[in-house]
Structures are given as C-alpha cells and as structure tokens.
Amino acid sequence: MRDDSAQKPSADRPYEVGYCKPPIATRFGQRQPPKRRSGGTEQPLPDIAAILDRPIAVKVNGRNGRLHPHEAALHGLFGRVVKGEIRAIKQFLKECDRAGLLAAQTAAFDCVVHLPNDIPWELACYILQHAGLPPWDPLLVASYLAEYKADLERLERVEPGNKRSPDDHGR
C-alpha cells in the first residue's frame, strides 16, 4: 500500500521538485495563463479598407505608375486571359458581370413613338435622347433644327459631293 502522505507536501516538509516530480501548479496540465505586461497602450487595429483603397506602385508597359489595387489585379488577370488561361477567363467574365458589362441593354420603355413629319429622322432621334418623349416645346425643336441645318451646311462645304438636304428626313 502506498503512503499518500509522501506525495502531498505538508507544512513541516516542503514538496521537492525533481526527476518525476513536476511542480504542483503544472502537474496535471492546468496552468494559469502568463501575466500580461502592464503599462503599454493597446495598438489600434489597422484600417483594412483604407489599406486596400490606397494606390500601389506598379509597372505597366514598362512605365512606373500608381494604380488602385483592384485595377492592378484586373491588369494581371487580363494578362492571364490573353495567354488563354481558362480559370482567368472565367474569373474575368465574372468580374465583367459584376461590373454590369455583360448585362443585356434593355429599353427603359416599350412603346411606339409618333414623331412629327417635318423633323428629319436623325434629328428626331437626337431630340428623343436629350429631351425625352414628345410632345416637345416648339422653341426647343426650332433651336435643334437650326443647329441641324447649320451642321448640314458645314458638311456640304467640307464634302461638296454630299447631296443631303434638310428636307430629306433621313428616310
């Protein structure tokens, strides 16, 4: 039978640390975490968004310059696309889709527009893009028509063989 009193230190006999006798505090794997140093100020966390938004130095076509990190990554990705790497092509298409470059262009409205007969087709399309759907203000149409006729006269002076007239209506 073992004597348990030999294992435990008593007030009259201190515990000896040595071969096969680990310190009592760490004998069964329990240990207090180390004490932290006091007196130091905590370091602020780095602003990752600011770091990623900062321009970086790059070399493009043999010239040194600064680019946004995302733009620099796209330059590298496009270089791999040109070499024909399939993964790079897939990633590049995903980036183009995220940027909205692959979305089909759809009309904002689906309707029939009745244009006045006295306005040339090209001018009517231009006014439609800049002023919206008719009915248009007569002064607005008159100013666009005067500018259109002046442009046609300038073209006639530059290209004398141009037989286009403002009454042709582009049809």
Whether 81 shows a pLDDT value over 90: the answer reads: yes
Q: Which residues pair with 56 in a beta bridge?
A: 67
Whether 165 shows a pLDDT value over 70: the answer reads: no
Whether 1 shows a pLDDT value over 70: the answer reads: no
pLDDT in tens, 99-155: 888 877 665 666 777 777 888 888 888 888 888 888 888 898 889 999 999 988 888
Residue with token string 């004490």: 35
Pairwise CA distance, residues 114 & 107, whole Å: 17
Pairwise CA distance, residues 61 & 78, whole Å: 13
Q: Return the pLDDT at 86.
A: 95
Within 10 A of 58 (CB to CB), how many other CB atoms are there? 15
- Write down the number of H helices and E strands in the chain: 5, 2
